[in-house]
Amino acid sequence: MASRKERELQEEKDWNKIDEAVIASESFIMRYRNQLMIGVGAVVVLVGVYFAYQNFYVEPKNAEAQTAMFRGEQYFQAGMDSLALFGDGNAYIGFEQIINEYGSTKSGDLAKAYAGLSYARMGKYEEALKYLKDFSGGDDMVTPAVQGAIGDCLVNTGKPQDAVSYFEKAAKSADDVLLSPIFYKKAAIVNRELKNYDKVIALFTTIKNNYMASPEASEADKYIMEATLLKGAN
């Protein structure tokens, strides 16, 4: 065990090292004081610019976009997809123009979802995919709908394998007793066409076990039995 004298000497050495580090740090600060102050000043300026951008540009733009979106949402709900997308020639400018003018806002982002869904309903799947994939997401209801719509568009453009992952994402992100089994069934049906029978069984088993009250659960056994027989036949 170290003696008291040795411990005191060691502590003195440690304090000397700390003093040296402090002196070196102070020397560095004095030598580069101007550069450091410029760096700190730059950070302060950037933070100030960010908040100014949010308060004086983004929020007012988002408010404008919300106003522009109102009529478009009505057209969309009524199934008037062309009017929703391109405007009515009067006060409403259409989702396409809203995206061009307000695409960086939350409402502009939502317009991408509406535009994609409108194009999908019109059977214009490539145009739909462009907007749906550009949608940032975040909304608990809209995001699963968009993911599911991407899956539908991919199926209709001959990319069923890619579609499956989007249907499963939609089911998981929805986490809903009504929506999730619908998306899981879509994934299962595509896997059935791809002859991925193990996946069909797994997906319908998930529906059967986790969403027992859903219409999809009531027909799960039928698909599970069919997939089991087809798997055994191959």
- The pLDDT of residue 44 is 47
Residue 189, domain member (yes or no): yes
Residue 184 inside a domain? The answer is yes
Written as one string, the DSSP assignment of 30-86 is HHTHHHHHHHHHHHHHHHHHHHHHIIIIIHHHHHHHHHHHHHHHHHHHTT-HHHHHH
pTM comes to 0.72
Give per-residue pLDDT as tens, 116-162.
999 999 999 999 999 999 998 777 778 999 999 999 999 999 999 99
Whole-angstrom distance, CA of residue 222 vs CA of residue 228:
10
> In this structure, is residue 108 part of a structural domain?
no
Instruction: Establish if 113 belongs to a structural domain.
Output: no
Residue 223 falls within a domain, yes or no?
A: yes
> What per-residue confidence (pLDDT) applies to 30?
57
Evaluate whether residue 92 is within a structural domain.
no
C-alpha–C-alpha distance, residues 11 and 231, integer Å: 75
At 234 the pLDDT is 66
- Domain-embedded: residue 22: no
Average pLDDT, the chain: 81
- On whether the CB atoms of residues 104 and 61 are closer than 8 A, the answer is yes
Report the CATH number at residue 177. 1.25.40
| Digit-coded pLDDT (tens) for 187-204 | 999 999 999 999 999 999
16 Cβ contact list (under 8 Å, min separation 6): none
Instruction: Tell whether 125 is covered by a domain.
Output: no
Helix, strand, or coil here: 104? coil
The answer on pLDDT for 56 being more than 90 is no
For residues 35-42, average pLDDT = 50
Residues 64-75: what's their mean pLDDT?
83
Would you say residue 65 has pLDDT above 80? no
> Residue 72: how many CB atoms within 10 A of its CB?
27
* Domain boundaries, position 206: 137-234
What is the average per-residue pLDDT within 71-95?
Answer: 92
Q: What are phi and psi of 214, to 5 degrees?
A: -80, 155
Total count of domains within the chain: 1
Asked whether the predicted pLDDT for residue 80 surpasses 90, the reply is yes
User: What SS3 state is found at 209?
Assistant: helix
Asked if residue 85 lies in contact with residue 95, where contact means CB atoms within 8 angstroms, the answer is: yes
The owner of tokens 């695409």 is 103
